[in-house]
Structure 1
């Protein structure tokens, strides 16, 4: 009896198809109310966040040890710093374009199977994490329970990294490696969409 294999490209496509793709709605706060639930939903319902976080897990798995755990640990740790900057009300320039650019860049890293030194990969991931965290942090002052909100978006981030890792381990097979690179290309395309929206080329 043949066992059915899950196609990660189809899984990612289905995930992306189930979320809104309007750049204007990516950070409106829609559905973000208070506490744990709102914090958990913020990265998941923001497709520009979602694709970048999945890409971190994909790239880590593609690079192998120790990147498979260094990148997914680096992102939420540095993201917390960005969140603190947002809470403090310090202005960061170009937040939306850089968040969108993170999807483009990380998607390309996976699609092209780029293998930089681990420190360079961690620095790139960390830079983008600051801006993702900042976007989350700007929501924190309006949340009824800031701690629960923070826990929610950190947990959601970890889960999205895990999705990327689980898909990324398929690189050990030739067909799986191609599927992972296809996922990276899809993420890059979503990132381009949001980048064009963030700079006003599309609405």
Structure 2
């Protein structure tokens, strides 16, 4: 029986998503480095999906209804996340916020310690992990896992419709990210 997925950065999780790449002929540390160097916005499909997600905040900004903090937010990307941990085989990234809000309701966090110390009932915590796993003698697959922790029933109720609405696009973004990493190493051969 496979182990239940977990992350040391969350006490538990309310939502979970997992995707795995094909075999990649590269050492795990190079695969993990490739993930952290990807600019998700250079993929036209990913960029379009993220623009659609950011569209409501833009509309509210133009109408003058947006909060000052949301007006200053740069486009969403891998650099929006906080690095929680990186080692030879994996990288874990974190976000804290009210993701269901038009502006994501992001809370600024400096590092893993700050991420783990956030104890607010009104926000969800998200961990995005990329892990290189051996699949043969000299090949690794890249697995991406998304964990979302909702500390209260109210937060989970707010997050559920958003999670259901974004699942298809989120999965597509993860699969395209994995495919870009695979393609990067296939081009090196």
User: In proportion to residue count, which structure has more strand?
Assistant: 2
Larger radius of gyration: 2
TM-score w.r.t. the length of structure 2 is 0.29
TM-score between both structures, scaled by the size of structure 1: 0.28
- Larger RCO: Structure 1 or Structure 2 (Cα < 8 Å, ≥ 6 residues apart)? 1
